[in-house]
């Protein structure tokens, strides 16, 4: 018999960026908010031993314990889906702050084009630019409508940057802090791209260039360029993450608490409303019911989708019939790039997760696609995040992967290699989707989420195009030898690629093609909100966090409206 | 520093004494052997305990392997993957075999934080680790495979064949042309290669990267509090590496 706790106004499932933002805003507005976090409490004081590549980057200290839960994966419906037994292609978070603890901090707003991609693409290139197998759709909200929330999130983070990119949408205010240090290798990229006629700018960075106090009164420190960001927590509190911003802001109100070791397994419903959630106390095995007036799913996009599926909320997408919305529009990203080998030694081991420069000359619809066999594009960046010796063993492709020659070349090139890389946009395809696995279960007996995904023709064409551009930039940077990445093969879940998984719980104006409305309120269950990159209808050529945070701020506003008048917010 | 630099390497010694490596159990003979080397003024031996109580690194030892012979096969294989050269020590000199042994005895070896529930199927090339074997079992399996292959091809243990002969077997593992039970040989080779590099470059607290020699070769400074004063410099900085252990003492 499950134990039932006292009812709260708002419960969030997961406490990372989105859970933290919802908590801070709702608690400030006087609501009683509770966060349920399956992992542990942690914060800056836990990261003093973080300069340990093996523990954190290779053995995934801060990430999800897959022995308890993972996903299953197949490239297509004909294949048998099998569990992702080890972490690889993407890094799922766990514990306070979630993936917001171990992110790099590259924080771009999406383009105005992204939000109206279908309308804009058809207007410019006609209805048949992409085949109807691609399910692109407008997001139901424009960049201008989302702008104030981007602004809000950037001020919470103290984002460091410069507003010099001619391709961005209009900003209502400048970056809260100046860009990071434009060190020599960045200048090399800047000069090369300028010489090629492009428009380089400093990556908007959540590793802060200077100390900053945010509007909630949280204090962030200045980045020390120690080279341990991605896969690590920041021992200086210099990387904007939930534990140093929105979570303390929520706690300060006295209206917020967090229950740790609470793994939510079901969203409880009665009619068209949710009554709360059921969770397992992972330490005692006990079942607990947390009643709430409003339930907000704020875990990673995969777990958000899974919880809706196991709770039978919404209609599962079926690739055969094209019916259903839940699990549809799953997208990822592609990573075209070029490696350059240089003669001189460079300080490649110094850096910060978002210390870099980018060009958008081949991103979004910033260039003419009339004669191209794809839409959208990729940001092209050089980022000096700090090379580490286990993960970085660059050798030219004619050198073997082990033995005397490998040792010599990988040591020689550790401080003599630079990478220019693209983050290529990903378009939804009718064959790429999320569902429940019929065979495999998590530790609590709940089915695993199943991912059916492969790269598409659009991905291959874009990859080829952007690879050439990155080679061109690297050659201009003066590499004695440049190697572009090989052609895009089948999606492989083993090598790390990107933790920019999107879709599955997409947003929009039409319940036939979206799971939630533009306040991320579920179409069928009015007091249930689903927040995260799962709301994206496609993935842009950028990191997703700024858009995730902006949507969360807008949702927090929606929850306050809902508390006042109830019903659908649209 | 490494075995090949010693007056007589352990392998040479075993060859010349005619003692089958497999009969070596425990540290008695090894200890005596290393003591012999130490007396020749070569006391900087990373791979085995010394007989002198004051020189012996009593914080290092085998936690996983039970047969010295298996450990020796592993050691020689890692050394071929990451050999000693003019740049510095190879896998053995860096303590990589101890690193791997120690890791196999813990969470890494038992895949404690990975999904190990059945049913198990072979899986496609894009679906990753699908064997029911843990890494500990996989390593034992792989080591035995390498040894059997050496006996079949050259009539000797893997630990006793020539370097080029070892490379031939390792290459065939890599190319997946050797049959292994429960897993592909290419998969095992990949794991062995990764573990070797991890042992060469992990912080020395994990018992590899002895004396931070891996980092010194590579120009990686390890744990440094800050580069804020150097990040804008054009010139390359050669920085004495530090272990994360300095934060704990």
Helix (H, G, I), strand (E, B) or coil at A433: strand
Secondary structure class of B221 (helix, strand, coil): coil
φ and ψ at residue B88, rounded to 5 degrees: 155, -165
Is position B57 within any domain?
Answer: no
DSSP-based three-state secondary structure for A220: strand
Query: Which residues in chain A are closer than 8 Å to B125, comparing Cβ atoms?
Result: 492
Query: For chain B, how many residues are written?
Result: 249
pLDDT at site B52: 52
Residue of A217, A292, A315, A348 whose CA lies nearest to A9: A292
Write out residues 141-200 of A within 8 Å (CB-CB) of B.
181, 183-184
pLDDT value at residue A1: 73
State the burial class of residue A466 (Cβ atoms within 10 Å of its Cβ: 0-12, 13-18, 19+): buried
- Nearest 5 degrees, angle CA A270-CA A275-CA A276? 135
Q: Are B221 and A51 in contact (CB under 8 A)?
A: no
Distance CA A332, CA A346 (A): 32
CB contact under 8 A, A389 and B215: yes
pTM over 0.80: yes
Please say whether the beta carbons of A489 and A460 come within 8 A.
no
Are A104 and A110 contacting, i.e. CB atoms less than 8 angstroms apart? no
Domain boundaries of chain A, sorted by first residue: 3-565
Name the residue facing A224 among B114, B170, B226 (closest C-beta).
Answer: B226
Of A483, A465, A464, A487, nearest to A474 (Cα)? A483
Question: What is the pLDDT at residue B59?
Answer: 87
CA-based nearest residue to A382, from A106, A85, A75? A106
Task: Give the separation between CA A72 and CA A431, rounded to whole angstroms.
Answer: 16
Number of domain units in chain B: 1
Answer whether residue B97 is part of any domain: yes
- Interface list for A 98-127 with B (CB within 8 A): none
**Structural domain includes residue B162:** yes
Whether residue B155 is contained in a domain is answered as yes
Closest CA–CA distance from residue B28 to any residue of chain A (Å): 32
Distance separating alpha carbons of residues A50 and B225, to the nearest angstrom? 11
**Quick check: A401 contacting B, CB < 8 Å?**
yes
Cβ-Cβ contacts under 8 Å, A439 against chain B = 119
> Beta strand pairing status for A356-359 and A201-202?
antiparallel
Q: Which domain holds residue B91?
A: 63-218
B80 alpha carbon, distance to own chain's centre = 10
* A109-123 pLDDT, tens digit each: 999 999 999 999 999
Q: Are A247 and A257 in contact (CB under 8 A)?
A: no
Which tens digit of pLDDT belongs to each residue from A460-474? Answer: 999 999 999 999 999
Is pLDDT of A303 > 60?
yes
DSSP structure string for A477-544: TT-SEEEEPPPP-S--SSS---S--B-SS-B-S-TTT-SB-TT-BBSS-TTEEE-SGGG-SSB-SS-S
Residue B55, pLDDT score: 63
* Residue A56 CB-half CA count within 13 A: 21
Q: Which residue of B has its CA nearest to A86?
A: B114
Residues 6-65 of B with CB under 8 A from A: none
Note whether A289 and A2 are within 8 A (CB).
yes
Does residue A534 carry a pLDDT above 50?
A: yes
Instruction: Calculate mean pLDDT across residues A151-155.
Output: 98
**Spatial separation of the C-alpha atoms in residues A149 and A206, rounded to whole Å:** 16
Structure tokens at B66: 């039970």
A347 pLDDT more than 50:
yes
Task: Tell if the CB–CB gap between A494 and B223 is shorter than 8 Å.
Answer: no
- Give chain A positions within 8 Å (CB) of B196: 402
A500 is catalytic: yes
A521 touches A558 (CB < 8 A): yes
Residue A217: is it exposed, middle or buried by C-beta count within 10 angstroms (0-12/13-18/19+)? exposed
Q: Please say whether the beta carbons of B71 and B154 come within 8 A.
A: no
CA distance B118 to A329: 29
Q: Closest Cα partner for B65 from B159, B139, B174?
A: B139
Overall average pLDDT of the A190-210 stretch: 98
Q: Smallest Cα–Cα separation from B147: which of B157, B161, B162? A: B157
Position B117 in a domain: yes
Chain A residues in contact with B226 by the CB 8 A cut-off are 224-226
Q: Which of B205, B219, B229 to mutate to test the interface with A (most CBs of A within 10 A)?
A: B219
Give strand pairing partners of A382.
A357
- CA torsion sign for A267, A270, A274, A275 is negative
> Tens digits of per-residue pLDDT, A232-258?
999 999 999 999 999 999 999 999 999
From first to last of its 249 residues, chain B has per-residue pLDDT tens of 333 333 334 344 334 333 333 333 333 333 333 333 333 333 344 444 444 555 668 889 999 999 999 999 999 999 999 999 999 999 999 999 999 999 999 999 999 999 999 999 999 999 999 999 999 999 999 999 999 999 999 999 999 999 999 999 999 999 999 999 999 999 999 999 999 999 999 999 999 999 999 999 999 999 999 999 999 999 999 999 999 999 877
Q: Is A52 in contact with B203 (Cβ distance < 8 A)?
A: yes
For residue B124, is it within any domain? Answer: yes
> Most A CBs within 10 Å: which of B231, B245, B247, B249, as the mutation test of the A interface?
B231
Residue B87 near chain A (CB below 8 Å): yes
Question: Is the pLDDT confidence value at A297 over 80?
Answer: yes
The confidence score (pLDDT) of residue B11 equals 41
Q: Residues 285-344, chain A: which have Cβ within 8 Å of B?
A: 344
Q: Are strands A3-4 and A287-297 parallel, antiparallel or unpaired?
A: parallel
Residue B9 is predicted with a pLDDT of: 41
- Calpha distance A83→A67 (Å, rounded): 11
Domain contains B223: no
Q: Could B248 and A49 be called an inter-chain contact, meaning their C-beta atoms sit closer than 8 Å?
A: yes
DSSP β-bridge partners for residue A59: none
Who's near A286: CB < 8 A, 6+ residues apart?
A2, A3, A280
Q: Which of A170-179, A204-213, A342-351, B39-48 has the lowest mean pLDDT?
A: B39-48
B interface test, pick of A90, A390, A399 with most B CB neighbours within 10 Å: A390
Residue B23 domain-assigned (yes or no): no
The B residues from 88 to 117 touching A (CB cutoff 8 Å) are: 90, 107-108, 111-117
Q: Which of A376, A429, A463, A500 is catalytic?
A: A500
Query: What's the rounded Cα separation, in Å, for the pair A467 and A265?
Result: 43
| pLDDT given at position B53 | 52
Three-state DSSP class for residue A359:
strand
Reported ipTM: the value is 0.96
Of B225, B100, B202, B234, nearest to A388 by C-alpha is B202
CB–CB of A99/A93 below 8 Å? yes
Find the length of chain A: 570
Q: Does A486 touch chain B (CB under 8 A)?
A: no
B217 contact residues in A (CB cutoff 8 A): 411
Residues whose CB falls within 8 Å of the CB of residue A10, separated by 6 or more in sequence, listed in order = A22, A23, A26, A31, A32, A33, A34, A292, A293, A294, A295, A296, A559
Instruction: Check residue A244 and report its DSSP letter.
Output: G
Residues of B in contact with A344 (CB under 8 A): 236
Residue in this structure with the two tokens 């799971």, named with its chain if needed: A515
Put simply, the answer to whether B214 touches A389 (Cβ < 8 Å) is yes
Q: Which fold has domain A3-565?
A: FAD/NAD(P)-binding domain (3.50.50)
CB of B234 less than 8 A from some CB of A? yes
Peptide bond into B119 cis (omega under 30): yes
Please name the member of A350, A390, A441 whose beta carbon is closest to the beta carbon of B201. A390
């Amino acid at each position: 018999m499950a134990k039932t706790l006292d009812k709260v106004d708002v419960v969030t499932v997961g406490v990372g960026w989105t859970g933290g933002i919802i908590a801070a805003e709702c608690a400030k507005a006087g609501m009683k908010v509770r966060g349920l976090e399956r992992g542990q409490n942690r914060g800056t004081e836990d990261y003093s031993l973080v300069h340990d590549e093996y523990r954190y980057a290779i053995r995934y200290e801060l990430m999800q314990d897959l022995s308890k839960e993972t996903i299953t994966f197949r490239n297509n419906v004909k294949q048998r889906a099998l569990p992702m037994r080890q972490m690889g292609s993407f890094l799922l978070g766990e514990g306070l702050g979630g993936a917001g603890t171990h992110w790099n901090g590259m924080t771009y707003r999406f383009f105005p084009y992204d939000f109206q991609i279908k309308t804009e693409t058809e207007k410019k290139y006609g209805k048949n630019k992409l085949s109807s197998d691609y399910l692109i759709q407008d997001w139901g909200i424009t960049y201008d409508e989302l702008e104030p929330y981007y602004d809000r999130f950037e001020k919470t983070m103290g984002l460091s940057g410069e507003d010099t990119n001619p391709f961005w949408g209009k900003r209502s205010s400048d970056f809260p802090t100046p860009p990071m240090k434009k060190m020599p290798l960045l200048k090399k990229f800047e000069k090369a791209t300028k010489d090629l006629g492009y428009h380089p700018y400093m990556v908007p960075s959540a590793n802060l260039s200077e100390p900053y106090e945010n509007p909630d009164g949280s204090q962030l420190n200045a980045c020390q360029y120690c080279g341990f960001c991605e896969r690590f927590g920041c021992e200086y509190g210099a990387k904007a993450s939930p534990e140093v911003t929105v979570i303390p802001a929520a706690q300060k109100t006295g209206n917020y608490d967090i229950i740790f070791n609470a793994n939510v397994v079901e969203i409880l419903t009665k009619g068209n409303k949710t009554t709360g959630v059921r969770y397992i106390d992972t330490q005692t095995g006990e079942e607990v019911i947390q009643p709430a007036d409003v339930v907000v799913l704020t875990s990673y996009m995969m777990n958000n989708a899974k919880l809706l599926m196991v709770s039978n909320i919404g209609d599962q997408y079926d690739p055969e019939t094209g019916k259903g919305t839940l699990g549809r529009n799953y997208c990822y990203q592609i990573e075209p790039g070029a490696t350059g080998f240089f003669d001189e030694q460079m300080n490649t081991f110094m850096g910060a997760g978002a210390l870099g420069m980018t060009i958008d000359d081949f991103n979004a619809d910033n260039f003419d696609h009339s004669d191209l066999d794809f839409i959208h594009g990729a940001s092209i960046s050089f980022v000096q995040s700090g090379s580490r010796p286990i993960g970085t063993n660059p050798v030219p492709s004619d050198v073997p992967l082990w033995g005397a020659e490998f040792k010599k070349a990988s040591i020689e090139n550790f401080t003599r290699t630079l990478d220019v890389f693209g983050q290529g946009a990903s378009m939804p395809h009718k064959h790429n989707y999320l569902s429940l696995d019929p065979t495999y279960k998590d530790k609590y007996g709940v089915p695993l989420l199943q991912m059916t995904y492969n790269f598409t023709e659009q991905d291959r064409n874009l990859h080829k195009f952007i690879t050439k551009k990155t080679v061109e930039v690297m050659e201009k940077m003066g590499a004695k030898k440049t190697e572009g990445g090989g052609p895009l093969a089948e999606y492989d879940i083993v090598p790390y690629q990107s933790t920019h998984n999107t879709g599955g719980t997409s947003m929009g104006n039409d319940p036939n093609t979206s799971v939630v409305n533009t306040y991320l309120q579920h179409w069928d269950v009015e007091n249930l909100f689903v927040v995260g990159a799962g709301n994206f209808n496609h993935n842009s050529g950028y990191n997703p966090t700024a858009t995730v945070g902006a949507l969360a701020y807008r949702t927090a506003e929606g929850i306050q409206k809902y508390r006042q008048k109830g019903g659908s917010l649209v | 520093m490494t075995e090949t630099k010693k007056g007589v390497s352990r392998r040479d010694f075993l060859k010349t004494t005619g003692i089958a490596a497999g009969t070596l159990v425990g540290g008695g003979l090894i200890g005596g052997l290393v003591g012999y080397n130490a007396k020749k003024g070569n006391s900087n031996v990373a791979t085995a305990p010394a007989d002198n109580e004051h020189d012996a690194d009593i914080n290092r030892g085998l936690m996983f392997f039970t047969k010295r012979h298996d450990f020796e096969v592993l050691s020689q294989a890692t050394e071929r993957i990451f050999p000693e050269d003019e740049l510095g020590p190879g896998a053995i000199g860096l303590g990589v075999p101890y690193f791997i042994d120690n890791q196999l005895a813990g969470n890494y070896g038992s895949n404690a934080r990975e999904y190990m529930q059945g049913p198990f199927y072979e899986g496609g090339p894009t679906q990753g680790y699908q064997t029911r074997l843990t890494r500990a079992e996989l390593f034992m399996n792989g080591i035995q495979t390498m040894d059997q292959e050496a006996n079949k091809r050259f009539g000797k243990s893997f630990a006793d064949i020539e370097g080029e002969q070892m490379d031939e077997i390792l290459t065939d593992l890599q190319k997946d042309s050797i049959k292994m039970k429960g897993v592909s040989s290419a998969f095992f080779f990949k794991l062995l290669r990764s573990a070797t590099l991890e042992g060469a470059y992990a912080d020395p607290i994990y018992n590899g990267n002895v004396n931070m020699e891996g980092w010194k070769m590579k120009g990686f400074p390890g744990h440094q509090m800050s580069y804020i004063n150097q990040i804008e410099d054009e010139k390359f900085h050669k920085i004495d590496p530090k272990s994360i252990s300095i934060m704990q003492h």
